[in-house]
Structure 1
Amino acid sequence: MDATLTKVFIWDMDETLILLKSLLNGTFAQSFNDLKDADKGVQIGRMWENHILNVCDECFFYEQIENNNTPFLDALKQYDDGRDLSDYEFDRDELCPPFDDLSLKKIAYRHRAIAHKYEECSSGKEVSTSSLGLASLDSADTKSEHVNILVTSGSLIPSLVKCLLFRLDNLITHGNGLI
């Protein structure tokens, strides 16, 4: 009897945030006995932080929906009537609390638009890891039986944006949900 093993890869987004925080507060450079440029690290950390927040707000409606955090984009699917969103004006639909059924429908529309944007950003990208020596990424991206799990205490939208920016989007799909 052939037993098929499934590899499970757990991606800890909070650990990534600790690394980002260490850039922002200078402890990254301190851990190298100040052989690293702390000011440059802070500058890089701020750049990443600003980029993450800008993508969240400008492309993924985060500022509009951050008070209605869900664990995955399909969580409000029952409120989505499937309307064509190609001409939908998200900035004019007056989404605001309280989150009644109409507001939840507007959030569901945003979630569907976010999923579409995430898929668009993910398609065609390849993570080149050979120069970085990150065999775990190559292994996690193979077509053998495996499961990729993203663990985070963060909100859904910033976590998805970080997956895009850190190039984990080919491993973590928006439909996986986050743990």
Structure 2
Amino acid sequence: MAAYGQTQYSPALQPAGPYTPYTHHTQGYSMTSYNIKTEDGLSHSPGQSSLLGYTSNFGGTPPAQTLYSYSTHAEYHTPTSPLTPGKEQEGAPARRSSDVKLRGRKRANDPVPPLDSDIERVFIWDLDETIIIFHSLLTGTFSTRFGKDSGKAVSLGLWMEEMIFNLADSRLFFNDLEECDQVHIDDVASDDNGQDLSTYNFGTDGFQSPAGGGTLCLGSGVHGGVDWMRNLAFRYRRVKEIYNTYKNNVGGLLGSPKREEWLQLRREMEVLTDLWLTQALKALALINSRPNCVNVMVTTTQLIPALSKVLLYGLGGAFPIENIYSATKTGKESCFERVTQRFGRRAVYVVVGDGVEEETVAKKKNMPFWRVTCRADLEALSHALELDYL
């Protein structure tokens, strides 16, 4: 473990409760090489500049010190991106265009996972430009800020955007659900009668209007009627099943040749972003290795595209679907309130993000805020976690 200089952290982290103020200072320490294993069997080092796969040991012991190895056979799991500029158009509605911002979990190895009420510390993460780099690739701000090839950055961003919406449309019912967005995957579960869906035909249940367009959510039934709500709940249940089945096997969900295309895209994005995502995954894994800590995601992206993005960036092992909230309709403050109601007032909440909205809400609720503006901020976060400052 290398020296970390002083344990002062800048005004970006406004500790509340048991925290001591510290300044975000990232010079003067070297990162330990971690083997972060993911679904695809690739190993990745946060400090390495070459593109390697990585695996995330979510749950269980902290990642072991190791050199990174790359296997061309394995699938790529949750890579990391480089330093990310601030988000543009924070809070703007998600849309299908190049400026859309598609925006923890208990230890996997715990024999008996802790109840929500037993959680002692909750880390609330933003997604875009915090854990991953996506939106800033499309706008060109990433390449401008960090001296990257702008044409390559935009090309990779558009390629990922196409994959995100393709997966959302083809497997996660986004054509049906785009106008029926929910904050949480279980928000309409009360309308689900538990019917066996193994032979259910979603294409003929009358949910989606043949005309499409602006009447996507009307169908042949009455919007909000019992039958319509039940069919809506069926779709969200199936989305949940698909996520849970394939969160550690995205390549299996995509199939060939999409799997190979996805692996290539992930590798190229890792190179361009200097392993930003790998570094974020290290912090996520450290949190998940603690028995009474959890990672939660609150994103301004609509829920279905957000789930698609989480899967394609290999974050499924880091975030159970129940820990993902979309703030598109309600805003982040409402989502933060739901999270605190779920885990209780006794838990300590730490917010990790790059945007003004999450920082403002964190300060309002007296929650420590860890600002992420570059990859070094994620490295500092991992180091603080290793030293039990957080």
Q: Give the TM-score normalised by structure 2.
A: 0.40
- The one-character-per-residue Cα deviations of 1:3-55 (angstroms, maximum 9, x if unpaired) are x98333222024359942221122222113xx421111111000111111111
- Distance change (3 Å), C-alpha of 1:17 and 1:93: farther
Does residue 285 of structure 2 align to residue 138 of structure 1?
Answer: yes
What is residue 246 of structure 2 aligned with on the other side?
121
In structure 1, the residue matched to 2:257 is none
Higher-Rg structure is 2
Describe the shift of the 1:48–1:164 C-alpha distance in structure 2 as closer, same or farther (beyond 3 A). same
Q: How does 1:1-179 map to 2 (within 5 A)?
A: 6-16=120-130, 19-32=133-146, 35-96=147-208, 97=218, 98-123=223-248, 132-134=278-280, 135-178=282-325, 179=335
CA contact (8 A) 1:12 1:152 kept: yes
Aligned residues: 170
Can you give the 5+ residue segments of structure 2 that lack an aligned partner in the other structure? Answer: 1-117, 209-217, 251-274, 326-334, 336-390
Larger displacement relative to structure 2 (159-168 or 112-121): 159-168
Q: Give the structure, 1 or 2, with the largest relative contact order (CA under 8 Å, sep 6 or more).
A: 1
What is the distance in 2 between the residues matched to 1:59 and 1:9? 29
Q: CA RMSD in A?
A: 2.6
Residue 10 of structure 1 aligns to a residue in which SS?
A: strand
Quick check: 131-140 or 43-52, which moved more? 131-140
Partner SS state of residue 129, structure 2: helix
TM-score normalised to structure 1 length? 0.83
Measure how far apart 1:177 and its partner are.
4.6
The one-letter amino acid paired with 1:116 is E
Structure 1 stretches of at least 4 aligned residues deviating more than 6 Å after TM superposition? none
- The alpha carbon displacement at 1:137 in A equals 2.3
Instruction: Identify which range, 95-104 or 134-143, moves more after superposition.
Output: 134-143
3-state DSSP class of the match of 2:187? helix
- The match for 2:115 is none
- Aligned partner of 1:75: which letter? D
More moved, 88-97 vs 104-113 = 88-97
Give the counterpart letter for 2:155 in structure 1: Q
Any idea what the Cα deviations from partners look like across 1:77-117, whole Å, max 9, x if unmatched? 12111111111111121214123221111111111111100
